[in-house]
Amino acid sequence: MSNQIYAIYGASGCGRSLMPVARQQLQRQGVAAEIYFIDDSLQEEKIVNGHTAVNYQTFKSIECSNKYVLIAIANSQIREKIANQLIADGIKLWSVQADNSVIMDNVEISEGAALSPFVSITSNIKIGKCFHANLYSYVEHDCVIGDYVTFAPGVKCNGNIRIEDHAYIGAGAVIKQGTPDKPLVIGKGAVVGMGAVVTKSVAAGVTVVGNPARILERK
Ligand code: UDP
């Protein structure tokens, strides 16, 4: 029985982009272990980009004392559901970060994070579970980010911003910095559209788009 195995949960776009980041991470740590893909759409084992891909039931049945899984699925509700399942099954949430990502001082990031290439997290920042920071995103000083938050590529999250659980920030969005006594807040489950320029706080559950960002009214 091997001592530890690793997996990327999700073998679609997000997972296939994060697999090389995961490989880099193990190489950097000098760990020689196999990395599987887990995807529940699979009826039987197959090879995806050179890695064995299986469904979760099969992965669970592999005998190994330590299993680590990065959930690489952009939908944050699915991430939460799978994270709870993994924890219930005694499987650890795995965090990966690209070799060229930058993390500065006093940064606290909970388990299950994915930091893609060219991501920067500067100083005095707290981030919750299963955070996804896609290519070229940054988080500036004194931000507090909740659980299951997702940044598409190129998100510019400036200083003193609070982002609540399950918020989704679209590609290239820019969020204006807040102040220490009045952080700019992106509410729980809010969606910021791609390219939006967010100049003031966004309420929970709404979608904002444009420059300056405004609430998208559903017709
Ligand atoms: N998936 C899964 N188990 C689930 C939900 C989703 O294995 O409970 C897989 C799904 O089969 C798909 C991937 O996760 O292959 C999600 O891919 P999608 O293209 O929707 O989005 P991505 O997160 O890769 O951008």
- Output the pLDDT for position 219: 77
Nearest CA to ligand 1 atom 19: 12
What residue's CA is closest to ligand 1, atom 9? Answer: 10
Exposed/middle/buried for residue 153 (C-beta within 10 Å: 0-12, 13-18, 19+): middle
Q: What is the Cα–Cα distance from 23 to 34, expressed in whole angstroms? A: 9
140 C-alpha vs ligand 1 centroid, how far in Å?
30
- pLDDT above 70 for 2: no
pLDDT of 101 higher than 60 = yes
HEC profile of 182-199: CCEEECCCCEECCCCEEC
The β-bridge relationship of strands 46-48 and 51-54 is: antiparallel
Q: What pLDDT shows up at residue 42?
A: 98
132 among known catalytic residues: no
pTM: 0.97
Tokens of 76: 């944050």
Our answer on whether the CB atom of 74 is closer than 6 Å to any ligand 1 atom is: yes
Q: Render pLDDT for 108-153 as a digit per residue (tens, 0 to 9).
A: 999 999 999 999 999 999 999 999 999 999 999 999 999 999 999 9
Using the atom order of ligand 1, give the atom closest to the CA of residue 40: 7
